[in-house]
Structure 1
Amino acid sequence: MTRAVVAFLAAFEAVITAAIGLGVALAPLTLVWAVQYHMATSWAVFWRASADAWLLGLGVDAHVDLDRLTALSLGLPGAVPPFTVTIAGLGVALFTVLMGARIGRRAAETPYVLTGGIAAVASFTAVTSIVALTAQAKVFGPAVVQAPLVAAATFGAGILLGIGMDWAANRDHVPPLLAHAFGAETRMVVGSSLRAATGAVALLVAASGLFVAILLFAHFGRAVALYEGLQAGFLGGITLTLAQLAFLPNAVLWAMSWLIGPGFALGGGGAVAPGAGLDSGLPGVPLLAIVPAHSPTAAYVAIAIPVAAGAASGFLSHRILKKSTPPFDTPLDLVLVAAGAAVFGGGVLALLAWWSGGTLAPGVLADLGPSTWKTGVFGGLELGAGLAIGLAIGHWRGQAHDWTPLRREEPAPEKSAALATDNDFVTAGD
């Protein structure tokens, strides 16, 4: 493919990604406009609501200015002064990053990877800026200046992830810039640390998702009762469900912080962590049915899950290290990999914690999400301990397999020759 074709295809896929993200919110709201309101009101109101939801999901802040009567009717007495919504529904951001990774990986298969990445990010940023300009309203409006920056950062992260995945799949390919800047041993330490940290964080996030699924199943009746109490109707229920699905990745990351130990904040209700409880009730949102009112101190045993995730990643990473040429399996090598992976893993966990939190409204919803530094520090230590254990087990296992018992002493040459002669004589006699 030529450079122009690569740029066009990347830009086209970026526009499609934005259209799908907008359509997920716009389709049900358009149904509400057509069925419930009989097209009597302006469709632009529902367009702005869809655009606001999409931009909030990407991480763009929104400014809210409610009058006193509206604030009191929503149960937000502290919302009379203007405030800013800073929390992102990471379902939208996750979809955007994954689509960006797909585009980046496809661009990396061509000689024009830089052209494809720049074209995709520029197109997605342009669409985001146009949507932000059309979503402005007196009561609620996204930050127009922030929108292109956040869009470029979110979609660009996906593009870089896809390019990195393509390079990781082709291990013989080393970018010339990295080859000249760092030696082979340094690249091995950094690459192995990144691989081990990525595996450990991925296992921990998967375990957190399973934990949330179990809680949803266990508290399904309570969630249904909250749905019935809201009396949102069929279309309202669909809209509410889609909104909660957008925040489901946030719930998974908050559960991850709970498993690590620091837990997460729920505004004025206090911290939700092992050995801690809420000081007040929660809003009647069905997804919050999984939040326990209090957790016993014995729940701190849950920190074994991050350690186990690190151990599994370390054990699997050791198999790759041992098969490398030359083998990268000395105790010093493994210590460097474990330390580097702990630092990288802690940094990723801190970034995820920061990304999942924010402010939704003044009062009880003013401070939501886990602590960035606590999640990063404690998570890095726990993953690092598990990685050290996994690498050590892999090393000892390899040493045990390399050891072979002494073979039985082979017969002397004279004896072997005599045995061969006897065998020939027996064969001839037969």
Structure 2
Amino acid sequence: MKLPLRMPGRRALPMPLWLQGVFELAQSAVISGLLILVPLAAVWLAGGFGDRTPDAMAQLGGQIWLLIHGVPLEVTFAAAEPDGAGTTGILSLVPLGLTLIPFLLSWRAGRRLARASYSDQLWQGVVGALGIYAVIGASVAYLSSTAEAAIQLAAGALIPLLSAGLGLVIGAYREAGAWSRLIGVDGVAWLARTSQHSRWAGSYAWSCLRAGFVALTISLGLSAVLLAVTFGFRWAEMAAVYQRLDAGIIGGSALTLAQLGFLPNLVVWTLSWASGAGFALGSGSAITPLTTSAGPLPALPVLGAVPPGTLEYGLAALAIPVLAGLLAGWWFFREGENHLDEWLEIKMEARWFTASVSTVCAAVLIGLAAGAMAAVVAWLSHASLGLGRLVDLGPNPLWVGLFIAGEVAVGVVVGYAAGPLLEREKRA
């Protein structure tokens, strides 16, 4: 059955869907590339890159474009001695704030493709869009490879498809209003053919997954507030780094824009710090709520906000994931989808036992969902400069996932248990 995705009153563009997909994502690639090249050109014209040629600046822009898509570079550093051999390492540095640029442009393209197609035709536009993006990525990787930074063509073609494809699919979903419509399936009719137990199990699992997402979102929001407060308290130290760099107006502006691109990474690192897992600023370093142990750091103003030494109030930050779990447990209670509790209540009469078991099971599942998502964002925020100690920058995804899972689960138990008290109607 064909389910139309077209919006009422809108006409599809008079071109084949695959060609529209090519046009949409090629446009996204060009716009995202220009947003990188324009600031680079401004710094270059101000003399910020020495005697680099325009070709070298274009290659640097291509390398940055690939980096924001998550493509690693194999960099070679010159030897300290004239007769020595150079050092080779992997530069993996994904500024998540800048990654939002191609993601949002692809999200817009997905919405436009969904408007112009029926659900059983959408794949044509998606194939065309992802195909041209892979070609552009491979071309940029080929043209941007230098003796100092080598890029694998397969990585340049395939890795950018992750952010572009995710934006494309989510944009199409926002336009369609349901995942099933994207593949031409009548979700209501399909659910009607399943058993009641299957529907309960599905809605229960989906609610636990969404509650885990709620917990992670709240944790990141509270971590962003904590990061902003830290910036406020340590503004003097950050300003001192700016003064020592003396980069000028254009150079300082470009440096600030680059640091803004890494703000989402810093929020994830703050969450890792607040969970107790901590993060690293170089091999052998550890920045945790209890203490800071780090060697020499790069001269970046934003790193001036790293708390020094031992913190007396550090353990208070552990309340962030617990509070997020509490709110997620309350949200789960409001959803009313705890079908495991309903099933246990039918099977057993001991209400104290069934309520306890269902609450603990929900807390474990929500905690695992939040921990898995936290591990993914921690992995995305991890970085490597490919040289010396600076091959380990950021949190350990496994430890972040475990800490967040346990702390959120504790909060969910409290939040779900307090749900009836928070939702009790006021007497007239």
Counterpart Cα distance in 2 of 1:333 and 1:114:
41
1:85 aligns with 2:110: no
Question: Which structure carries more helix by proportion?
Answer: 1
User: Which segment is superposed worse, 133-142 or 313-322?
Assistant: 313-322
| 1:273 positional shift | 0.5
- Aligned match of 2:146: 137
- Aligned match of 1:360: 385
1:100 aligns with 2:106: yes
- Aligned match of 2:335: 320
| 1:210 positional shift | 1.6
Counterpart Cα distance in 1 of 2:326 and 2:173:
24
The RMSD of aligned alpha carbons is 3.6
- Aligned match of 1:289: 304
- Aligned match of 2:394: 369
Counterpart Cα distance in 1 of 2:41 and 2:31:
15
SS of 1:281 mapped into structure 2: coil
- Aligned match of 1:244: 259
Q: 1:290 to 1:328 in 2, by over 3 A?
A: farther
Q: 1:323 to 1:105 in 2, by over 3 A?
A: farther
Q: 1:190 to 1:293 in 2, by over 3 A?
A: same
One-letter identity of the residue aligned with 1:95: I
- Aligned match of 2:123: 114
Q: How does 1:205-354 map to 2 (within 5 A)?
A: 205-268=220-283, 270-296=285-311, 298-321=313-336, 331=355, 335-354=360-379
Q: 1:119 to 1:193 in 2, by over 3 A?
A: farther
Counterpart Cα distance in 2 of 1:290 and 1:249:
15
The answer to whether the 8 A contact 1:329-1:395 is kept is no
SS of 2:293 mapped into structure 1: coil
| 1:191 positional shift | 1.4
| 1:124 positional shift | 2.3
Q: How does 1:46-61 map to 2 (within 5 A)?
A: 46-61=57-72
1:15 aligns with 2:26: yes
Q: 1:277 to 1:151 in 2, by over 3 A?
A: same
| 1:26 positional shift | 0.6
SS of 1:63 mapped into structure 2: strand
Q: 1:379 to 1:281 in 2, by over 3 A?
A: same
User: What do the CA deviations read for 1:175-234 (whole angstroms, capped 9, x no partner)?
Assistant: 877877882112201211121111111111111122222222222222121112112222
Q: 1:260 to 1:40 in 2, by over 3 A?
A: closer
Q: In the alignment, which of 33, 41, 45 is matched to residue 34 of structure 1?
A: 45
Q: 1:307 to 1:161 in 2, by over 3 A?
A: farther
Counterpart Cα distance in 1 of 2:414 and 2:113:
38
Counterpart Cα distance in 1 of 2:317 and 2:166:
31
Counterpart Cα distance in 2 of 1:329 and 1:102:
45
SS of 1:282 mapped into structure 2: coil
SS of 1:355 mapped into structure 2: helix
User: What do the CA deviations read for 1:225-260 (whole angstroms, capped 9, x no partner)?
Assistant: 111211222222222222222222111111110111
Counterpart Cα distance in 1 of 2:338 and 2:394:
41
The answer to whether the 8 A contact 1:63-1:85 is kept is yes
Q: 1:201 to 1:82 in 2, by over 3 A?
A: same
Greater radius of gyration (CA): 1
Counterpart Cα distance in 1 of 2:46 and 2:207:
56
The answer to whether the 8 A contact 2:69-2:160 is kept is yes
Q: 1:259 to 1:41 in 2, by over 3 A?
A: closer
Q: In the alignment, which of 74, 79, 84 is matched to residue 63 of structure 1?
A: 74
The answer to whether the 8 A contact 1:268-1:366 is kept is yes
1:152 aligns with 2:161: yes
One-letter identity of the residue aligned with 2:97: G
User: What do the CA deviations read for 1:39-72 (whole angstroms, capped 9, x no partner)?
Assistant: 9753111111111112112111101112225x99
Structure 1 residue ranges without an equivalent (≥5): 73-77, 406-430
The answer to whether the 8 A contact 1:55-1:132 is kept is yes
Counterpart Cα distance in 2 of 1:378 and 1:33:
45
Q: 1:313 to 1:107 in 2, by over 3 A?
A: farther
Counterpart Cα distance in 1 of 2:49 and 2:329:
59
